[in-house]
Structure 1
Amino acid sequence: MMRSAPLVPPAANLSLLTERSREIFRQLVDSYLATGEPVGSRQLSRLLPMTLSPASVRNVMQDLEELGLVYSPHTSAGRLPTELGLRFFVDSMLQIGDLEDAERVRIAAGVEAASHAHDFEGVLAEATSLLSGLTRVAGVVAATKENVRLKQVDFVRLEPERALAILVADDGTVENRVIPVSRDLPPSALIEAANYLNARITGRTLAEARETIETSRQAAQVELDQLTARLVETGFASWAGAPSDRQLIVRGQAHLLEDLTAAADLERVRLLFADLETKTGVIDLLERAEQGDGVRIFIGSENKLFSLSGSSLIAAPLRDSERRIIGALGVIGPTRLNYARIVPMVDYTAKVVARVLGGA
């Protein structure tokens, strides 16, 4: 599993953590992830596999606080892990669990059924909904449309120097782009350019079509007159790499309203909803999750998107049948996510989606 750059105390300070300190810290974090509540020394002394008095536990917790791994939200309260402490726990202590057979069956069956009933976007939406339902937080996915197979291209003159380029995909989606054209371009050139492209892109993905057009660029200049060849190049380039080729799907935001224990929790969720409305920020974060082979974990303010809401993202890259990155899929929720359970769930779902979309 790959995680984002760890933000942990210096190694020299970590060497001060004895086995007893590590066990106390582990139990504190485990309790926090389960309940979201501060953990006191008396409670920890009962959870520990060793016999320690509450006073001894309190002394260790003070040391952990000086290292920046825990903090006390109130003077008389127990401790909670800091974002730094959670990062240290995730990078150094997290023991990844395994999915139950029933969970594997539910994910695989849901995604495969969606592939028969829906298009590319429908499969992603179903996978995201499944993840959200299983984890009880928000599911998110960002993906390109480059693996959708193309069906037809048309050009329609709008004004003397503008035309509408229309791209139709096999799944029925339609993309329109307004492109500049020469005032001298004859009407027949629009038909000729469309016929030229349709003969070369039908049934191909956008990436495959782009490669085909690039390869035949010189041939196009020979076969077509200069103005028509320019129209072919301009029209196809209008789709390649366009920002709208990135789509974001969010499902299950309502789960984030469950199990709120304080007004501060409600404010955090309100801020997270605002984050999720910032499409560019979420896509940028998921694009960072694409940069690796495994699951990545982003915690709280170590990513600027969550600087106010204090949330976490667990995400894995999506790949097609040729192992090319086509997006990332994951969940967003409070920092007290059940990382050990959710990490393998996200990883498995991403692999099932990649298999289904790739036809493997």
Structure 2
Amino acid sequence: MVGVMDLNERSREILRRVVETYLETGEPVGSRFLSRQLPLSLSAASIRNVMSDLEGLGLIFAPHTSAGRMPTEAGLRMFVDGLLEIGDLTDDERIAIERQVSGSHKSIEDVLDEASKLLSGLSHGAGFVVAPTYDAALKHVEFVPIDAERALVVIVTEGGAVENRVIEIPKGLTPSALAEATNYLNAQLRGRTLDEAKAHLARELETQKAELNELTAKVIEAGLATWSGSNSAAANNDPLGKSLIVRGRSRLLEDVHAVEDLERIRLLFDELENKRDLVQLLGLAEAADGVRIFIGSENKLFSLSGSSLIVSPYMDTQQRVVGVLGVIGPTRLNYARVIPMVDYTAKLVGRLIN
């Protein structure tokens, strides 16, 4: 496959301008327009010849016979890998990101939710976060009644992370039964990681259910079902499993140019709904040392809609990947702006959740 160094300076500059103009406007770029924009002294006819060569290499194409040219996925990839000039965030931008994501939040889920909203707002795409699987030791578990049929499960880890889940409780459950469930769980689970706690609790319930009040046992089992993700953590956005938070889908509709764009967005919405598959995004970034970019069909999960992903893992204090965040949007994302924002947000989230 042809690489950026296989192109001469003139071809590289014309490809760069075609891509940059497309990313800015979403429209095909013509030779006359380029002749006015290029620093090189080239006639429209010379530019057409170069564009014809680039088209022959599969880097640009003409959407209509008389139209200008647009980059192919291969052209976008070459631009991102070899021609893109990525800037750095300003101090003001860093402060603004830190203020929005950290704030006074106590819950990890709040931090992750704010991160996905932030990325959506900055990129004009959909921001997403794949939440981590926690392996911190549990410190405290408590059931707090909400109403006659629901209770809040509060889980606190040794590291101070707090997570809340709402569960359904049996009708007629007394406050003393909730207190009994709280005491039982704290006696059984304290000091164990979530995975250890789930396995231990499942064994204990088999042997000790008879010793517990029947309603109390049902509450404990409801809590266990919530933590184990028996209804699919991915489908329920359960941050105690590998779950997905997506924010800003409506922004994808803000820049629709044509009927085919609308169809692409519809397909992307369908793909975003398949959250179980989307949790595979964690695997896309696990081996990455920083930001990775997937353009169009390079990523099977979004091949139908031809969308791009800019993703980065975030790490725990041992530099282990615990989750991934990023932006999903059209292939004409503003890569130069979004890449450093995704990178910085990932580093910030990693610090905040540890």
| TM-score between both structures, scaled by the size of structure 2 | 0.76
Amino acid at match of 1:59: N
Instruction: Check 1:167–1:118 CA distance in 2 against 1; reply closer, same or farther (3 A cut).
Output: closer
Map of 1:121 onto structure 2: 109
Map of 2:191 onto structure 1: 200
Structure 1: how far apart are the matches of 2:67 and 2:352?
50
**Mapping for residues 253-332 of structure 1, pairs under 5 Å:** 253-332=249-328
Structure 2: how far apart are the matches of 1:173 and 1:134?
28
- State the Cα distance separating 1:346 from its structure 2 match: 0.4
Q: RCO greater where, 1 or 2, for CA within 8 Å and sep 6 or more?
A: 1
Instruction: Please list the CA deviations of residues 10-52 of structure 1 after superposition, one character each: whole Å capped at 9, or x if unmatched.
Output: 45xx665211111111111111111110000111111111100
Structure 2: how far apart are the matches of 1:287 and 1:80?
31
Structure 1: how far apart are the matches of 2:186 and 2:118?
42
Instruction: Check 1:112–1:199 CA distance in 2 against 1; reply closer, same or farther (3 A cut).
Output: closer
- State the Cα distance separating 1:280 from its structure 2 match: 2.0
Instruction: Please list the CA deviations of residues 50-88 of structure 1 after superposition, one character each: whole Å capped at 9, or x if unmatched.
Output: 100000000000100110000000000000000111111
Map of 2:7 onto structure 1: 17
Instruction: Check 1:191–1:60 CA distance in 2 against 1; reply closer, same or farther (3 A cut).
Output: closer
- Which shows bigger deviation, 239-248 or 23-32? 239-248
Instruction: Please list the CA deviations of residues 230-283 of structure 1 after superposition, one character each: whole Å capped at 9, or x if unmatched.
Output: xxxxx9x99679862111101111111112221111111111111111102222
Map of 1:105 onto structure 2: 95
Residues 137 and 190 in structure 2, CA contact (< 8 A), matched pair in contact too: no
Amino acid at match of 1:123: V
Match of 2:164 among 149, 153, 173: 173
| SS of alignment partner, residue 321 of structure 1 | coil
Amino acid at match of 2:261: D
- Which shows bigger deviation, 256-265 or 294-303? 256-265
Residues 315 and 322 in structure 2, CA contact (< 8 A), matched pair in contact too: yes
| SS of alignment partner, residue 15 of structure 2 | helix
| RMSD over equivalenced CA pairs, Å | 3.5
Instruction: Check 1:199–1:147 CA distance in 2 against 1; reply closer, same or farther (3 A cut).
Output: closer
Instruction: Please list the CA deviations of residues 291-335 of structure 1 after superposition, one character each: whole Å capped at 9, or x if unmatched.
Output: 212000011011122222111010110112232211001011100
Residues 312 and 334 in structure 1, CA contact (< 8 A), matched pair in contact too: yes
| TM-score between both structures, scaled by the size of structure 1 | 0.75
Map of 1:34 onto structure 2: 24
- State the Cα distance separating 1:90 from its structure 2 match: 1.0
| SS of alignment partner, residue 279 of structure 2 | helix
- State the Cα distance separating 1:117 from its structure 2 match: 3.0
Map of 1:342 onto structure 2: 338
Map of 2:132 onto structure 1: 144
| SS of alignment partner, residue 173 of structure 1 | strand
- State the Cα distance separating 1:287 from its structure 2 match: 2.8
Map of 1:219 onto structure 2: none
- State the Cα distance separating 1:143 from its structure 2 match: 1.4
Instruction: Please list the CA deviations of residues 91-129 of structure 1 after superposition, one character each: whole Å capped at 9, or x if unmatched.
Output: 11111111122221111111121xx33411111001111
Map of 2:244 onto structure 1: 248
Identity across matched positions, percent: 54
Instruction: Please list the CA deviations of residues 150-170 of structure 1 after superposition, one character each: whole Å capped at 9, or x if unmatched.
Output: 34579xxxxxxxxxxx98512
Instruction: Check 1:37–1:191 CA distance in 2 against 1; reply closer, same or farther (3 A cut).
Output: closer
Instruction: Check 1:133–1:15 CA distance in 2 against 1; reply closer, same or farther (3 A cut).
Output: closer
Gaps of 5+ in 1: 1-8, 155-165, 177-189, 215-223, 229-234
Map of 1:186 onto structure 2: none
